[in-house]
Amino acid sequence: LIHTLRHTTLHHTLIHTHTHSYTLIHTLIHTHTHSYTLIHTLIHTLIHTHTQQQRSLSLHEYTSIGLLKEAGISVPDGMVASSSEEAYSVAKQIGSKDLVVKAQVLAGGRGKGTFEGGLKGGVRIVYSPEEARDISSQMIGRKLYTKQTGEAGRICNQVFICERRYPRREYYFAITMERSFQGPVLIGSSQGGVNIEDVAAENPDAIVKEPIDIVEGIKMEQAVKVAKKMGFPPALVNEAAENMIKLYNLFIKYDASMVEINPMVEDSSGIVMCMDAKINFDSNAEYRQKKVFELRDWTQEDPRDRQAAKADLNYIGLDGTIGCLVNGAGLAMATMDIIKLHGGTPANFLDVGGGATAHQVTEAFKLITSDRKVQAILVNIFGGIMRCDVIAQGIIMAVRDLDLKIPIVVRLQGTRVDDAKALIAASPLKILACDDLDEAAKMVVKLSEIVSLAKEAQVDITFQLPI
């Protein structure tokens, strides 16, 4: 399982999130019988949802294409438009009667998506500025629904209009950080313009991988080797290799975690060109990539992600009914696991960290309770660096200020725990204190079940202490 985790989205995400995550997973698997359930849940959530705290920044296609152009990489001529009239002007300015209008939505499957209003496809070919205006008017300001967005859809605020090019051949090229290679790796394939995961599953030999020494950097012979294996014609191998080197330099310059070109093409005029670009940036590098991170489009993300980022909280939304507020990633995962053990389902992963303030705790409660599925909350704090009395103050403040009605179970251990218990006991609020984690988990699961049953029966319930 450890070997498998090295190649999963969960592992990749955790490596960029928490320095000791690999040790954490290893420990959980070998010390906790039910950790597999938790890991399976997290893997499923991270792969199949887009509504979690982001560990890497994704930018719109037009922005990524702009970065490539600045780096001297061949890309189609194009410009972004924020209105149908601007789309008309852009199309006239490009001066071609063969154009592509692309909805700028951060979701896969745009081409097969459907807009509210009925327009089919988020990537459309048009033949005049008038047609560009008409199609853009049906995209901008409307939600696009794809397999990846689900029923929520994703708002389209802009379109990217570019010249249409006719490729002779399409290739796949990417650069990513790969733990198994202990650094960046070039990935190429002769099969571009399609889902690379499908290619890897059906024909693994079609995938080329070339690890790069991050200290020495990329060498021309390495890029040439990849270009040849990808199947570029001999006359274009050097040109393709030069583009790969420029892409690698961009990857390093901007602290990217992934650069994906799908497709990289040999066009009808015999030029190697990058037709599409997807770049993810490591969020840990935000302090030195401020200009890039200022381009983040929060309209493309769950509002809770923005709320969590502002409060400096590590948050991942799940599908359960029990909200979790914990300090430390390891304890948070173990807490979710014990909830599953007793038949409950966690509604989130939320790590307030080791230096949380009372204000952050209040923000954490706001975040948890913004999810209408939450029926009960479990707070599990081990006070090492974190002081339990600070957490208690935050809990009391949050329950009072937010006028929370759902049951809250609190388990505190560690620094100033007696002060924390005294604060909770002295408050008039209905906060259930519990010393034992197992008992706390059992209690919160039972309470969530009671609240769920009451809601189904459309019955109002109140809780009296002691329960």
DSSP string, 294-321: TT--GGGS-HHHHHHHHTT-EEEE-SSS
For residue 92, give the amino acid letter: K
Q: Are 96 and 164 in contact (CB under 8 A)?
A: yes
Cα torsion 373, 375, 381, 385 to 10°: value is 40
Q: Are 433 and 461 in contact (CB under 8 A)?
A: no
Task: Locate 74 and state its tokens.
Answer: 């061949």
Q: Are residues 196 and 280 in the same domain?
A: yes
Numbered residues of the known binding site for ATP? 102, 109-111
Q: Are 141 and 86 in contact (CB under 8 A)?
A: no
Say what the pTM is.
Answer: 0.69
- 7 has a pLDDT exceeding 90: no
Last residue of a domain, one of 293, 322, 343: 293
Q: What angle do CA 105, 12, 184 make, to 5 degrees?
A: 95
Q: Is residue 125 part of a domain?
A: yes
The pLDDT score that the predictor gives to residue 245 is 98
The pLDDT score that the predictor gives to residue 205 is 81
Q: Are residues 311 and 371 in the same domain?
A: yes
**How many residues in the chain?**
467
The pLDDT score that the predictor gives to residue 387 is 85
Q: Are 286 and 275 in contact (CB under 8 A)?
A: no
Numbered residues of the known binding site? 102, 109-111, 262, 276, 327, 384-386
Q: CA 377, CA 346: separation in Å to the nearest integer?
A: 9
Q: CA 269, CA 288: separation in Å to the nearest integer?
A: 39
The enclosing domain of 262 has a CATH number of 3.30.470.20
Q: Is residue 45 part of a domain?
A: yes
Catalytic residue numbers read 172, 260
464 falls in which pLDDT band (50, 70, 90)? low
Q: Is residue 329 part of a domain?
A: yes
Last residue of a domain, one of 129, 163, 197: 163
User: Which residue, among 164, 165, 161, 166, has the nearest Cα to 91 in the 3D structure?
Assistant: 161
Q: Assess whether the previous peptide bond of 233 is cis (omega < 30° from 0).
A: no
Q: Is residue 464 part of a domain?
A: no
The pLDDT score that the predictor gives to residue 436 is 93
Q: Is residue 59 part of a domain?
A: no
Numbered residues of the known binding site for substrate? 327, 384-386
For residue 43, give the amino acid letter: I
35 falls in which pLDDT band (50, 70, 90)? low
Q: Are residues 336 and 266 in the same domain?
A: no
Write the CA distances from 59 to 67, 72, 116, integer angstroms: 11, 19, 23
Q: CA 369, CA 180: separation in Å to the nearest integer?
A: 39
Each residue of 232-270: pLDDT tens digit? 999 999 999 999 999 999 999 999 999 999 999 999 889
Q: Are residues 174 and 271 in the same domain?
A: yes
Q: Are residues 8 and 43 in the same domain?
A: yes
Q: Are residues 362 and 418 in the same domain?
A: yes
Q: Is residue 42 part of a domain?
A: yes
Q: What angle do CA 137, 138, 139 make, to 5 degrees?
A: 90
Least confident of 55-59, 266-270, 322-326, 422-426: 55-59
**C-alpha Rg value of the chain to the nearest Å:** 25
Q: Is residue 467 part of a domain?
A: no
Q: What angle do CA 54, 280, 223 make, to 5 degrees?
A: 155
Say which residue, 27 or 121, is predicted with more confidence: 121
Mean pLDDT score across all residues of the chain: 85
Q: Are 408 and 432 in contact (CB under 8 A)?
A: yes
Q: Is residue 245 part of a domain?
A: yes
Numbered residues of the known binding site for Mg(2+)? 262, 276
Q: CA 77, CA 89: separation in Å to the nearest integer?
A: 14
Total count of domains within the chain:
3
Q: Are residues 344 and 267 in the same domain?
A: no
What are the strands, taking DSSP E only, across 82-191? 99-103, 114-115, 123-126, 142-145, 154-156, 159-163, 167-178, 183-189
β-pairing, 376-383 vs 408-414, is parallel
**How far from each other are the two terminal CA atoms of the chain, in whole angstroms?**
41
Q: Are residues 212 and 255 in the same domain?
A: yes
Last residue of a domain, one of 163, 196, 222: 163
Q: CA 172, CA 158: separation in Å to the nearest integer?
A: 26
Phi, psi of 228 (to 5 degrees): -65, -45
The pLDDT score that the predictor gives to residue 39 is 55
- The residue written with tokens 């990058």 in the block is 274
Percent of the chain topping pLDDT 70: 87
Residues contacting residue 346 through CB under 8 Å, at least 6 positions apart: 41, 318, 320, 322, 323, 324, 335, 336, 339, 340
The pLDDT score that the predictor gives to residue 446 is 95
The enclosing domain of 147 has a CATH number of 3.30.1490.20
Q: Are residues 229 and 349 in the same domain?
A: no
Q: Following DSSP, what letter does each residue of 54-83 receive, concatenated?
A: -SEEE--HHHHHHHHHHTT-----EEEESS
DSSP 8-state symbol, 346: B
Cα torsion 327, 333, 337, 338 to 10°: value is -20
Domain that includes residue 396, residue range:
2-53+301-456
- 165 has a pLDDT exceeding 70: yes
Task: Locate 349 and state its tokens.
Answer: 């992963």
Q: Are residues 218 and 347 in the same domain?
A: no
Q: CA 271, CA 341: separation in Å to the nearest integer?
A: 58
The arrangement of strands across the sheet holding 114-115 comes to 114-115, 142-145, 154-156
Each residue of 394-438: pLDDT tens digit? 899 888 888 888 899 999 998 889 999 999 988 888 889 899 999
Q: Are residues 320 and 450 in the same domain?
A: yes
Q: Are residues 287 and 378 in the same domain?
A: no
Helices 21-31/35-48 angle, 10° precision: 140
Each residue of 345-381: pLDDT tens digit? 999 999 987 777 778 888 899 999 999 899 999 999 9
Q: Are 410 and 395 in contact (CB under 8 A)?
A: yes
The pLDDT score that the predictor gives to residue 114 is 93
Among 104-108, 254-258, 282-286, the range with the most confident prediction by mean pLDDT is: 254-258
- 206 has a pLDDT exceeding 90: no
For residue 227, give the amino acid letter: A
